[in-house]
């Protein structure tokens, strides 16, 4: 179950663009992977709000894992994944997800 990523990784998201609802970048906890490069690429492509990066806090992890339904998770490189999930109040946007994949792969 891919929602376990919320328990084991650093989780990054764009808190200000509702088109990015339930789309996340994951960095494995001990990975030296550069998630900032991926976020910067999304920002430069207009797919992430400039200067707006949030992380799931430790006390929120279990709630995210319990409430989000996994749709798709892709590897972007060692230690980095992008994930599309759904939440009843925050459904993800399929077109935006495909734009993310086009930008990041």
**Which pLDDT tens digit goes with each residue over 33-71?**
789 999 999 999 999 999 999 999 999 999 999 999 999
User: Is the model's pTM score more than 0.85?
Assistant: yes
Query: On the CB side of 57, how many CA atoms lie within 13 Å of its CA?
Result: 2
Mean pLDDT of 18-28: 96
Q: Which of 12, 101, 104, 2 is nearest to 53 (CA)?
A: 12
């Amino acid at each position: 179950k891919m929602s376990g990523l919320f328990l084991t990784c650093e989780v990054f998201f764009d808190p200000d663009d509702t088109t990015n609802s339930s789309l996340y970048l994951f960095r494995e906890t001990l990975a030296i992977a550069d998630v900032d490069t991926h976020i910067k690429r999304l920002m430069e492509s207009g797919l992430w709000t400039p200067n707006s990066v949030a992380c799931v806090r430790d006390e929120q992890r279990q709630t995210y894992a319990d409430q989000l339904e996994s749709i798709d998770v892709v590897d972007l490189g060692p230690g980095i994944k992008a994930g599309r999930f759904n939440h009843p109040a925050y459904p993800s946007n399929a077109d935006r997800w495909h734009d993310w994949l086009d930008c990041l792969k």
